[in-house]
Chain A
Amino acid sequence: MKNAVTDALIITKRQLLQLARVPEVLIFSTIQPVMFVLLFRFVFGGSISTGQPGGYVQLLMPGIFVQTVAFTLAATASGLAEDMKKGLIDRFRSLPIARSALVVGRTLGDSLLNILVLVVMAAAGFAVGWRPTASVLSVFSAFVFLLLFGYALSWTGIYAGLAVRDARTVQNVSFLITFPMTFLSNAFAPTTGMPKALQYVAEWNPVSTMVAACRQLFGLENEFGATANSFPSQHPLTTSIFYMVLIMVIFIPLSVRKYKNSSN
């Protein structure tokens, strides 16, 4: 057990070393969300009326945090697919290390990357007027919540990477899923403007429940879209926790099994 933890941490360290050796990756993975912050804040922000004190950026930032964390699953998936293709997985599997080390280590590494990205984005948000009004503890728990969501999602990335085995394909597939998911939500615009059927989907979307939960934790009254009186829009925190547990309960065993059988 002790070895399983150290083995996983060595794999995590490998990911951090990769970042140190190829800092461009980190720069580009933070530039994109920062660009989103600026675009939405200054391009759309002016024409979206929210009735929110402090303006659109207060509603926007939680949306962008969730989106960014959701997008990292593509990196998890493509990183793992790349390792499979290059035969690195075989090398790891021929070592006397815990079977779980490689996948657990990678999910932890992705969480560390998420911390870095969230810090950069929070700073960017602050620079363009984002001011959470809740207590420090509440704001902090929102970030913990975001990291947990990212951690749960990285297991879907692990599964996708093991299943698809081609870095470029799996990256495209991940975006094809996460991109509409983040937009078919309350992240950037209220769901009330959508056709009824879509509204329903959007409110049950885990991205929406996460965004609404974060808005609550950041101290917003108007949760921007929570108007249809659906269960998830009334209990975003509970629903989000449910989703996270559900994702992990399904994808951790699936991924571990897939990894064990990945060569057969």
Chain B
Amino acid sequence: MKSIIAEHLVKTYRNGEVKALDDLSLNVEEGTVLSVLGPNGAGKTTTVRILATLLKPDSGHASVAGIDVIKQPGKVRELIGLSGQYAAVDETLTGWDNLVMFGRLYHLGKSASIKRAEELLERFSLTESARRPIKTYSGGMRRRLDLAASLIVQPKVLFLDEPTTGLDPRGRQEMWGVIQELVKGGVTLLLTTQYLEEADQLADEIAVIDHGKVIARGTSDALKKQVGGERLEITVENADIAKTQEIVARISATATHTDIRTISAPVTTGSIALMDALRALDEAKIHPLDIGLKRPSLDDVFLSLTGHVAEEEVKA
């Protein structure tokens, strides 16, 4: 069953001047993770906002857990959790205050709200700082608290809009751990990111979007295959380039590519090709500076799909 369905969503801003979504369609199988990958301004946040009932599309349909987000937004809100790009919690209040307040707003009742808040604080390792105002928290702690706030009623469908943007590497690692735990619990997750590594780590499937459209969709492996298989890459001293090119030409039927001192060519036989190359180089008394099989990264995927790179400078 599909937990999230978006069909032909169109959203324009400023009287049609800016097209945020241009006939965007996607769906997410129940209990799986879809990562929506794209650069700033590709339409990721707009997609999430429409699915989370915060925004109405100009046209198109969307449903979450089988409920129409445009016709029955109230019902959808009872089933979803949303954690946005910025930690949307009250910074003057403590972590405990925030979670209890959100529990009350989900109509849990006072004692149930307190119980749930304490469970979540424990689960996200925030118990020690529970009584401190959020403004004293680190970026990673804020994000964890924000995520906790979106899990108060154990949502069926969770939307995480760039959950690690602006976090330091350690905060990012922690967040990934937390999200991986969540996914094991069976929630359906739609996660947007501009980090290819993040999509690779967390998602079952990836939808690459650019200019408000899905331009590719599939598992990380499938997308990488779309760009091409493995490549043999050998870096040698300048003097050895010509000879190495000859060797590589014997192993790889297709065209080689030379970039300064690195020779790269697509291969189909994987490690066998690598060993052949090593043997031939050894016989020719060439000692490569570096040699290896390289699988295309999602960066390569994005570049080949869109003609530009995905990651942009992290906003200060």
Q: In the complex, which of the residues B52, B91, B92, B105 has the most CB atoms of chain A within 10 Å of its own CB atom?
A: B105
**Set of chain A residues within 8 Å of B88, measured between Cβ atoms:** 86-88, 90-91
**Set of chain A residues within 8 Å of B90, measured between Cβ atoms:** 14, 18, 88
With A and B bound together, what is the CA distance between A93 and B50 in angstroms?
12
With A and B bound together, what is the CA distance between A6 and B106 in angstroms?
11
**Set of chain B residues within 8 Å of A88, measured between Cβ atoms:** 88-90
Closest B residue to A7 using CB positions: B105
A31 within 8 A of B: no
A10 within 8 A of B: yes
B80 within 8 A of A: yes
Q: In the complex, which of the residues A3, A6, A86 has the most CB atoms of chain B within 10 Å of its own CB atom?
A: A86
With A and B bound together, what is the CA distance between A189 and B106 in angstroms?
52
B84, chain A: closest CB distance, angstroms: 5
**Set of chain B residues within 8 Å of A193, measured between Cβ atoms:** none
Q: What 1/0 mask marks residues of chain A from 55 to 96 whose CB sits below 8 Å from any chain B CB?
A: 000000000000000000000000000000011101111111
With A and B bound together, what is the CA distance between A263 and B92 in angstroms?
24
B133 within 8 A of A: yes
Q: What 1/0 mask marks residues of chain A from 3 to 18 whose CB sits below 8 Å from any chain B CB?
A: 1001100100110011
| Interface size in chain B (residues, C-beta < 8 A) | 31
**Set of chain A residues within 8 Å of B82, measured between Cβ atoms:** 90-91, 94
With A and B bound together, what is the CA distance between A263 and B84 in angstroms?
14
Closest A residue to B77 using CB positions: A96
A123 within 8 A of B: no
A90 touching B92, Cβ below 8 Å: no
Q: What 1/0 mask marks residues of chain B from 91 to 131 whose CB sits below 8 Å from any chain A CB?
A: 11110010001101111000000000000000000000000
B189, chain A: closest CB distance, angstroms: 16
B195 within 8 A of A: no
B55 within 8 A of A: yes
B89 touching A91, Cβ below 8 Å: yes
**Set of chain B residues within 8 Å of A93, measured between Cβ atoms:** 53-54
**Set of chain B residues within 8 Å of A134, measured between Cβ atoms:** none
B93 touching A21, Cβ below 8 Å: yes
State which residues 60-101 of B face A: CB under 8 Å.
74, 77-78, 80, 82, 84-94, 97, 101
B49 touching A10, Cβ below 8 Å: no
**Set of chain A residues within 8 Å of B101, measured between Cβ atoms:** 10, 13-14, 17
Closest B residue to A19 using CB positions: B92
A96 touching B97, Cβ below 8 Å: no
B98, chain A: closest CB distance, angstroms: 9
With A and B bound together, what is the CA distance between A93 and B49 in angstroms?
11
Shortest Cβ-Cβ A-B pairs, 10 listed: A87-B88, A91-B88, A96-B77, A94-B82, A96-B78, A87-B86, A18-B92, A10-B104, A88-B88, A87-B84
Known contacts A90-B82, A264-B56, then 9 further A-B pairs from the complex at CB < 8 Å, ordered by chain A residue:
A14-B90, A14-B97, A14-B101, A21-B94, A86-B86, A86-B91, A87-B88, A90-B49, A94-B82
A-B contact pairs, 9 of them (CB 8 A): A21-B94, A87-B84, A91-B89, A94-B52, A95-B77, A95-B105, A96-B74, A96-B77, A264-B55
Which residue numbers of A lie inside 8 Å of B, CB to CB? 3, 6-7, 10, 13-14, 17-18, 21-22, 86-88, 90-97, 101, 263-264
